[in-house]
Amino acid sequence: MLREIKGQPQVIDLLQKAIDQERIAQAYLFHGSDGVGKFMTALYFGMALNCLSVNKYRPCGVCSSCHKFLSFEHPDFLYVFPTVNLKLSPDGEIRDNDALKQYEAYIKNKINTPWQDYYFSGSTEIRKESISLLIKRLELSIHEAKYRVVIIENADMMNQQTANAFLKTLEEPPENTLIILITESLPRVLPTIQSRCQPVYFKPLAQGLIQDLLFERFQVDTSIAKSAARISGGNLKTAIRIAQDTDNSSRNKAFDLISMAAKAQDFEYLDMVSKARDSSDAIKDLIAYLGIIANDLCVIQYAAEQITNLDKADFLAELTHAKIADRIPDYLLLLDDFSRKLAGNVNPTLILLNLFIATKNLLAP
């Protein structure tokens, strides 16, 4: 199953050699952008170390140990991730009923649809009480596994106090214990944590690979798969979300914005924004589509058959003019800036308004 992880051959080779040579690091730090296979690789790595199959291709995915890992029911698999305040009891019982429901929903989503993000109702972090409980559990004997497996997802969401509480365990973990920390933001992980782990970098996935995965595993139409792969930025989760948007809502909103900007329909756009309740992901997809449309506006002047939005060729041809090609590089830089600001929790409405202004400037005669 490790070989089912696509686009990360250097990572798989590293981990496979560690398994074959029985030289497992005390702790690993998997880092790289979202949607590139970090969590599934960590899970399959732990499964491979405990797989009961005599076949050399492990994990097999069918033995009792593999089944328990895949259902998150293995007694020696410990999974920590950012949550709302669970109000944990000393023995690990979640005492807040609403938090318990969300916790269980998160796990269910991770098992059944790991490519979909789950959002808690409140602010999340990896809390000291969760790490303290993990440390207590690591002091107990291993139940049945050859290697106990600990996965800490979004490890950058440990505050300094929480991280410091985990340092001793990370430096001297119990025997036969595999600890894997996962992060999308390596600079936010304390240097003291980084220094105690073997770093493993996951690169963004190639567009061609994402397109193939969408077509083969999710039966996505070839043209949609191509657009989704191009917009995804190497993130399979983003590509799947875009491809499964059967109504093309983000694409339609991007063309609506373009049309309103071209016609200088400021008040109509303000009215639309005032009624919108778009998520950050939806705005991120909108920005990505605007980038694709901007590229089409440039390409259509020279090779109309090469544009992505072929069904909008006539509309785009009416908008394009000689000055657009010179303006597009700055426009794309602005789109990148808006995406970063969105990730930094800048007011989404402000971003939508600035998107409109930037697009009007792009299309102006």
Write down the domain spans for the chain: 2-82+125-202, 245-363
Per-residue confidence band for 56, with pLDDT thresholds at 50, 70 and 90: confident
> Could you tell me the CA-to-CA distances from 36 to 114, 205, 207, 236 in Å, in that order?
12, 6, 12, 6
> Could you tell me the CA-to-CA distances from 168 to 25, 188, 190, 200 in Å, in that order?
16, 20, 14, 21
Residue (of 195, 138, 140, 137) closest to 163 by Cα position:
195
Q: How many CB atoms lie within 10 A of CB 352?
A: 22
What are the residues whose beta carbons fall under 8 Å from the beta carbon of 9, sequence distance 6 or more?
Answer: none
Superfamily of domain 2-82+125-202: P-loop containing nucleotide triphosphate hydrolases (3.40.50.300)
Which helix (H) or strand (E) segment holds residue 100: the answer is helix 97-112
Could you tell me what percent of the chain has a pLDDT over 90? 67
Per-residue confidence band for 115, with pLDDT thresholds at 50, 70 and 90: confident
Determine the average pLDDT of the residues in 255-266: 95
pLDDT at position 231: 78
> Could you tell me the CA-to-CA distances from 353 to 28, 69, 266, 358, 360 in Å, in that order?
43, 46, 10, 9, 11
pTM for this prediction: 0.78
Instruction: Let me know how many helices (H) and strands (E) the chain has, helices first.
Output: 16, 5
Phi, psi of 79 (to 5 degrees): -125, 120
